[in-house]
Every structure is written in C-alpha cells, then in structure tokens.
Amino acid sequence: MAPATVKFNDYLSSRLQDDDFKEGFLKENAILESVLAVYRARQNAGFSQRELAQLSHVPQSTIARIERGENTRIDTISRIATALGKHLTITIQ
C-alpha cells in the first residue's frame, strides 16, 4: 500500500497552529521576502553584485550577505534601494 499523501498547504496550515513553529516560519518568510526583493531589483536593473556595491557605496560582500539572507541593517538596505532607483518600504501587519 502506498503511503498517504498530504498536500503541502494542508500540512503547513496544521503546523502553523503551533505558536513556536508559526513564529519561526513568519521570521524566515520575512527574511526570504527581503532577500528576493533585493535580488530581483538588482537583477531587473541589470547589475552585478559588484556594480551595485559601487553604486550604493556598500561592500560587495554585504550585497552577497543580504542575498544569502544574513542579517543586515535597514539603513544599508535603504542605500541599496536608493542606488537602484527604488525606496524601502516596511510594513508591519
């Protein structure tokens, strides 16, 4: 007999009932969203990490750290957004 399958959304919904899991999930999801926002904006602008680093006066290693999801300062992300002709918006829901 084949093992029962569970739809991912159903599994996630059940796991999100646990407060500790939910807290960790929301934190990691926020990091992922910020990583994707920086990466996509850089790609859409056609810049390499090195080029963006020069434009934003931020070390290339910092751009790489941000794109790996490592913690960074809001003012650094704001400088990167400005260099890309964008602005940083933070929403707390």
**Residue 74 in tokens:** 């809001």
Give residue 36's domain range. Answer: 18-83
State how many domains the chain has.
Answer: 1
> What is the pTM assigned to this prediction?
0.79
The end-to-end CA distance of the chain, in Å, is 45
- Kindly state whether residue 40 falls inside one of the protein's structural domains: yes
**Tens digits of residue pLDDT in 71-91:** 889 999 999 999 999 999 988
- Kindly state whether residue 8 falls inside one of the protein's structural domains: no
Residue 49 is part of a domain; what is its CATH number? 1.10.260.40
- Kindly state whether residue 90 falls inside one of the protein's structural domains: no
Q: How far apart are CA 78 and CA 5, in angstroms?
A: 44
- Kindly state whether residue 28 falls inside one of the protein's structural domains: yes
**Tens digits of residue pLDDT in 4-57:** 898 999 999 999 999 999 999 999 998 899 999 999 999 999 999 999 999 999
